[in-house]
Every structure is written in structure tokens, then in C-alpha cells.
Amino acid sequence: MKTRLHILLLLLIATGGTLCAQEKKMMPEKPKSVFLTPMCIYDGDTIPWVKLKTVYIFKPMKFKNKREERRYTRLVRDVKKVLPIANEINALIIETYEYLMTLPTEKERNRHIKAVEKGLKEQYTARMKKLTFSQGKLLIKLVDRQTHSTGYELVKAFMGPFKAGFYQAFASLFGASLKKEYNPLGEDNLTERVVLLVESGAL
């Protein structure tokens, strides 16, 4: 009895497989989506390698009063507005430095730096005018965070000490300083929290 049952099941499976094959031939095949995933070998096994975003977990914010809450809300708004500019500046510095290394003479490098300075003024002057005073000061700090160099050091490296001193003196007239450093473990710890959350897409 069991042998007959096994034979019957095998026939059903075989018939079903034949019918499915016939249906597949009759139905036009849909184009298959192909997803290429980086692979790595671990203990002899090939497995997919997927890079996930870092997840940051902080204690929920507790505000003493409405004024403190508004200050935090403004900080989130300012970081979202200014962080992209700091990232653009970082990318521009890397690109400029790499290109300068390909120029054979000091004269050519100076000419290129002047062209970059002119381009920066044309590209960013209108955007900078739209920043508030607090956003401008935040930008100076975030440039230091992203580039690991203060604004003063960057200007000095690319344009010389004279222009660095000039821009520093100009910034000081408005109560700002290009020498301001970013301190994520000190006075900028709340800003660091917001930046990490914005970068990870949590804010």
C-alpha cells in the first residue's frame, strides 16, 4: 500500500512539474531583476557583504523649559542648513589640494588658487548672505569638524598668512573667529549629537 502511495505521489509531482513547465513555456517570462551585492569569503563560505548605516542611540532629550526646547529646535534647523555647506567645502579642499599637487610650478598653483577663490565668491556669496550670525559661527566650527582644520589654518595653507590674518580680523569685527575649534566632547557635545543624527538620517 505504501509503495503504491509513493508511486502515486511521484506521478503527481512529475505531472505537476510537467504542467508547470508547459505553463512557463506558454506564459512569457518576466525580465528578472538583478541586484549585485559585494561578497566576502568567511571560513570558506561566500556570503553577501552589506554596509549598514551606523545607528546612534541617545537618551531622550529633556528640556528644562520652552526656551531650551526652542534653542534645540533652532540648532537642528541650523545644522541641517549648514552641514551640507561644510561637506561641500571639505570636498572642494580635497579636490583643490589633489589638483595643486599635479601643477609643476608655484606660479601655476597661485593662479589656480586665485581662480578657486574667485569661483568660491561667485558660488557662495549669495548663500552666505542668507545665513544668520549663529549659522555663520556654526559653519566655522563644522568646517573644522569635517576638514580637521580651522578656517584660519585652511586660508593660511592655501592663500598665505597675510590673507588668513585679514579674514580673521574681518571675522573678529562681527564677534566671530576663524580659529574656533570644534569640541565634540565639550561645548559642542549637543551639536555633535545633532550632527550624528542628521548624518544617519534619524533627524
Query: Can you tell me the distance from the alpha carbon of 176 to that of 49, in angstroms, rounded to the nearest whole number?
Result: 46
For residue 180, being part of any structural domain is answered with: yes
Q: How confident is the model at residue 30 (pLDDT cuts 50, 70, 90)?
A: low
For residue 135, being part of any structural domain is answered with: yes
For residue 110, what are the domain limits?
Answer: 74-199
For residue 188, being part of any structural domain is answered with: yes
Number of domains present in the structure of the chain: 1
pTM score, whole prediction: 0.71
Q: What percent of the chain clears pLDDT 90, i.e. is strictly above it?
A: 25
Q: How confident is the model at residue 121 (pLDDT cuts 50, 70, 90)?
A: confident
For residue 43, being part of any structural domain is answered with: no
Which pLDDT does position 197 carry in this prediction? 93
For residue 120, being part of any structural domain is answered with: yes
Which pLDDT does position 167 carry in this prediction? 78
Q: What percent of the chain clears pLDDT 70, i.e. is strictly above it?
A: 82
For residue 33, being part of any structural domain is answered with: no
For residue 3, being part of any structural domain is answered with: no
Task: Write the Ramachandran bin of 175: left for phi over 0, alpha for psi from -120 to 50, otherwise beta.
Answer: left
DSSP 25: H
For residue 89, being part of any structural domain is answered with: yes
